[in-house]
A = this chain, B = another copy of it.
Amino acid sequence: MATELENRLRSLGIELPTLPTPSTTYAPFIIANRTLYISGQFPMMGEVLHYPGKIGGNLSIEDAQKAAHLCALNILAQVKIACDESFERINRCVRLCGFVNAVEDFSDYSKVMDEASNLMIQVFGNLGRHTRSAGGVSSLPHNACLEIDAIFALEDEEATPFS
């Protein structure tokens, strides 16, 4: 699956970012009961946070969209490592939850979160379609503008997961 995922990403021209050093107190992902839980991911390239601040404040919708794409790339980078370690297979993306650091009158959630959702569909096809929740937060770790966590379903069947 990791190889398949790598091939898939390569064919789509998607390059995964280097992941930041994991926290010593929590895990970037956990697999339990055939479910892959991924910690909230930030718009990081390695150790560098991109687009810090508040959407609708110092950041435009376009900044927020790039941040969402970067969060989703970090999610995929975690999925890739999780596959290697588990030898299990991704069945599908189940859920994305977005914590959006935006000004009080912000309501363009779809424009921002769709960037992350569309990447999942681009990579996993119909099995990338997921449930989604999103809400506005007053602040975030690292002064990030966006945090997205994810749940994937795993299975150990041989069939290719890509639709």
Contacts and interface: CB of A to CB of B under 8 A. Distances in A.
Contacts of A9: none
Interface of A: 23, 25-30, 32-35, 37-40, 91-92, 94-97, 99-107, 109-110, 113-114, 117-118, 121, 129-143, 147, 149, 151, 153
B136 A139 contact: yes
A138 B137 contact: yes
Given A23-B114, A106-B138, A135-B137, 9 more contacts: A23-B110, A25-B114, A33-B35, A35-B35, A37-B151, A39-B132, A106-B139, A107-B139, A136-B139
A25 B96 CA distance: 11
A149 B133 contact: yes
A13 B32 CA distance: 29
A89 B17 CA distance: 38
